[in-house]
Amino acid sequence: MIVVGGEALIDLVPVERPPGALLPRPGGGPYNTALALGRLGAEVAFCSRVSADGFGESLLAGLRAAGVDLSLVQRGPEPTTLAVPSLAPDGSASYGFYVEGTADRLFALPPALPDSVRALALGTCSLVLEPGASAYEALLRRESRRGLLTLLDPNIRPALIADPAAYRTRFLERLLPYASVLKLSEEDAAWLGGRASDWLAAGPSAVVLTRGAAGLTVWTREGAEHSVPARRVAVADTIGAGDTVNAALLHRLSGAPHRPADWPDVLAYAAHAAALTCTRAGAEPPYAAELTR
């Protein structure tokens, strides 16, 4: 089983008609990753704290429909986090957030994960918003020490980071040493500073960089570098594309965690899955059957 930890929220996506209207859509990087894993056919559980309000119920219904295990989900009476994406002409998105007093940031460290768990993924707002951020950090450290494959996706949201210098230090010194794989976008890399060699030296065995229309690149601790191009598609928007990459990486890497990864194959699979997500409005990752056509 793969466990994905982090926030589930509602994206208020702008629509053309009526002018100024916002369409609520399920979202949050970890939520999208868990949803994508379920659709790809992986055995996956979501580990978070979700509101008992109507939005929270709809979020869980979406995961349940994808076959995601919800036994690790904590519930709370606080409201659901809201995100408002703004879309650029190329379909890329930036975000504003409503996070004060919301349920997901009150996540508490759960008991040890079941023995059947072979991988853990964490990222996005859950690494920033306290007190939940410290609980997720403790979860990462504990499960990494017992040998799980761990994937970290910082998915930087600058609007949520009050002290960038402190976050960068925490990322490098307290999170990266416990990550097996670091996945980040070019925007994340520019904000964090440093190079792949710096991040590899901090702990991960591989760094995967998403480069938008230029594709994907991985650097490994052994000194290998592999790149694959992006698939050419008609882009509706890029919401959820990076999260789909997370899911595809986890799905392929966790199947044989003790064998060397076939990185060209893994990256090509991730690029295909992400491209299909980009053809749809909002975070709508593909199903396994769509990647075999």
Query: Distance (Å, rounded) from C-alpha 277 to C-alpha 187?
Result: 19
* Exposure letters 37-68 (e unless 16+ CB within 10 A, then b): bbbbebebbbbbbbbebebbeebbebbeebeb
* 160, 213, 243 from 96: Cα distances, Å: 9, 24, 18
Strand partners, 13: 23
Q: What token pair was written down for 123?
A: 């990222």
Are 69 and 42 spatial neighbours (Cβ–Cβ below 8 Å)?
no
Q: Which residues, including other chains, have CB under 8 Å from residue 292's CB and lie 6 or more apart?
A: none
Helix axes 241-253, 263-278, angle to 10 degrees: 150
* 142, 158, 168, 175 from 182: Cα distances, Å: 18, 19, 14, 10
- In the three-class reduction of DSSP (H, G, I as helix; E, B as strand; rest coil), residue 229 is classed as coil
Query: Distance (Å, rounded) from C-alpha 103 to C-alpha 131?
Result: 11
Q: How many CB atoms lie within 10 A of CB 16?
A: 7
Are 144 and 150 spatial neighbours (Cβ–Cβ below 8 Å)?
yes
Are 59 and 10 spatial neighbours (Cβ–Cβ below 8 Å)?
yes
**Of 53, 163, 243, 265, which residue is the catalytic one?**
243
Q: What token pair was written down for 135?
A: 């609980």
Does 237 participate in catalysis according to the annotation? Answer: no
Q: Which residues are catalytic?
A: 243
